[in-house]
Amino acid sequence: MFHIYLTLAYLYVLWRFVIPLPLSRTWRTLLALTLLVISKYHLILIMVYGTMFSPEVPRVYVLIAGWLFSAFVMMLSLVLVVDLVCGVVAIGRNESLKSLFGGRLRTGIAAVALLLSAVGVYQAVQVPGVQRVEVKVENLPQSFDGLRIVQLTDLHISRLFPGDWVEAVVSRTNRLNPDAIMITGDLIDGTVQARMKDVAPLSKLKAPLGVIAVPGNHEYYFDADQWIAEFRRLGMRVLVNEHLALQRGTGNLIVAGVTDEVAPTFGLPGPDLEHALSGSSKDTPTILLKHRPSGAAESAAAGVSVQLSGHTHGGMIRGLDQVAQYANQGFVSGRYDVDGMTLYVSNGTALWNGFPIRMGVPAEITEIVLRADRQTPQASN
């Protein structure tokens, strides 16, 4: 369906933007072919590399391709908006839509799309800042009051986010002196062989209570079992439908982790919260690491205190987050109260290189401070 939607998008841009341009047929044909190639960027990657998630080309080419594809999406959006506005004005003035949507306006749309895309891509590839959040946890042992967790998610380590970028993220994370580091999936794009050097800095992540991770959907696209073994070699505790108990002083805290919903497609176990919590004490507060925010109500019903998720990238563009929420049960970015359980959905530390743009939705390294509270946390969004 993804490629069908892009084909429809291209046909609309062709019809409403390219064909009416006051250019010669030769120039309009060249522009139409260029936009066709850009719109089929992901399909071309599949044909060349067998996957659209990991183009193994120099970073500058990934940046240019990401900029052009993002500009195509911006152009589509702007044409749709201008068509809507001009249509309303044309009806009100009893004029033709063609007279309002002229060549100068189309030229302006192209320039704005290219500029906005350049700004958005630039913002997307920076080392993210720190987002600080306090979470009240009912019945949290006093020894865990003030516990500092750094959540990383959706690093998408790739040619776009290579080893030096990872090194900077690790350095910024370690400077926070967290008690625990929790990574909620989509660490990589590419095979273990292709990403070996890029992921190496992750071994430098340091926290007294450990580095704990779960796989996201992208791990399964590149042989999750191999990646889980590699993450463990790098010093992470990867939870696959299981839990562990953190001890601090006389108190305990359960950290559970589940797999991603895409796992059964690759013949591997899907998320099983019941199995992950099996044998844990129901009286001990529980943090659940789950890549996608979906299923939060079920997590709350199972007694989870806090669920940490990613996957959505925060919607990437302000306004687009309102669309993204429909694919994620209404959860896109920030803190939610779900039947007394706190769900935190990170905007992501990076994002997928196939649409590398951020506008008004910054990436984040999330510092979460747990606070003991006998009361149910107040709703916050």
What is the tens place of the pLDDT at every residue in 120-179? 999 999 999 999 999 999 999 999 999 999 999 999 999 999 999 999 999 999 999 999
CA distance 53 to 46: 9
Residue 85 near residue 97 (C-beta atoms within 8 A): no
Q: What is the mean pLDDT of residues 285-312?
A: 97
- Are β-strands 364-373 and 148-152 bridged in parallel, bridged antiparallel, or unpaired? antiparallel
Q: Which pTM does this prediction carry?
A: 0.92
Q: What is the pLDDT of residue 380?
A: 43
Which of 124, 156, 180 is the C-terminal boundary of a domain?
A: 124
- Residues 301, 338, single domain; the answer is yes
Q: What is the pLDDT of residue 381?
A: 43
- Return the amino acid letter for 145: D
Q: Tell me what the mean pLDDT of segment 235-243 comes to.
A: 98
Contact (CB, 8 A) for 66 and 121: yes
When the pLDDT of each residue in the chain is averaged and rounded to a whole number, the result is: 93
Instruction: Report whether pLDDT(82) > 90.
Output: no
Diameter over CA atoms, the chain: 78
140 in the same domain as 117? no
Residue 381 lies in a domain: no
Domain stops at, among 101, 124, 147 = 124
Token pair belonging to 301: 């019903």
The answer, yes or no, to whether residue 36 has pLDDT greater than 50, is yes
Q: What are phi and psi of 170, to 5 degrees?
A: -60, -45
Burial class (CB in 10 A: 0-12, 13-18, 19+), 15: exposed
Whether residue 59 sits in one domain with residue 136:
no
* CB atoms near residue 306 (< 10 Å): 25
User: How many structural domains is the chain composed of?
Assistant: 2
CA distance 340 to 96: 55
Helix axes 103-124, 59-93, angle to 10 degrees: 140
Give the pLDDT of residue 376. 44
Contacts of 343 (CB under 8 A, 6+ apart): 293, 296, 299, 306, 307, 309, 331, 335, 336, 337
Residue 115 has pLDDT above 60, yes or no: yes
Measure the CA–CA gap between 316 and 70, rounded to whole angstroms: 11
Amino acid, single-letter form, for residue 24: S
> In angstroms, rounded to a whole number, what is the distance separating the alpha carbons of residues 164 and 154?
17
Could you list the residue range(s) of the whole structural domain that residue 117 is in? 2-124
Which percentage of the chain shows pLDDT scores above 90?
Answer: 83
The last residue of one of the domains, among 104, 124, 144, is 124
> Does residue 84 belong to any structural domain of this protein?
yes
CATH of the domain at 324: 3.60.21.10
Q: Is the dihedral of CA 246, 336, 151, 256 positive or negative?
A: positive
The reported pLDDT for the residue numbered 141 is: 95
Q: pLDDT category, 71, cuts 50, 70, 90?
A: very high
pLDDT at 326 over 90: no
195 shares its domain with 46? no
Instruction: Examine residue 378 and state whether it is found in any structural domain, yes or no.
Output: no
